[in-house]
Amino acid sequence: MTTILELAAWAVALMLATTMALVARGFLPVAMRADGSPVYHLSAGVVLIFTASALRALYWDVMPLALDAVHEGSWSAWHALVGRPIPNIILGLLFIWGGRHLLVLFWLLIPDHARGRYSILTAPFYPRAAPMCRAIVALLVRWRR
């Protein structure tokens, strides 16, 4: 028997998946251009991450209730057949691929003269001493005195 709370969770998951899919669709035309520009990497990253999020919500939140609504125990049988690692690996790879695009975006946003000192893994830390970081360090130094 499905409880009100489970139905609410199912409705939220459907709304989440729909919202994520619509946002991904909005970015899709730019993501399909593959011109290597910052806007392309932003769009591709958003499409991949939002698609993975929508698929994750559908798979883990909607599918169990939907399958069991059709025939009790269907989700358990499906889950026993497919297992937990396979969907998590597929969705995780989509998240990583989208994250890679966003890291390239961060790297492309670094001015040309400084870009050579950074990789896509260090680009999120540009500039090395952002004003907020300097303010935090100054506060810590004063606090320790």
The mean per-residue pLDDT over the stretch 62-69 comes to: 87
Closest CA to 42 of 106, 92, 124: 106
Q: What is the dihedral of CA 111, 115, 120, 125, to 10 degrees?
A: -70
pLDDT band at 87 (very low <50, low <70, confident <90, very high): very high
Query: What pLDDT, on the 0 to 100 scale, is given for residue 139?
Result: 66
Q: What is the pLDDT of residue 133?
A: 58
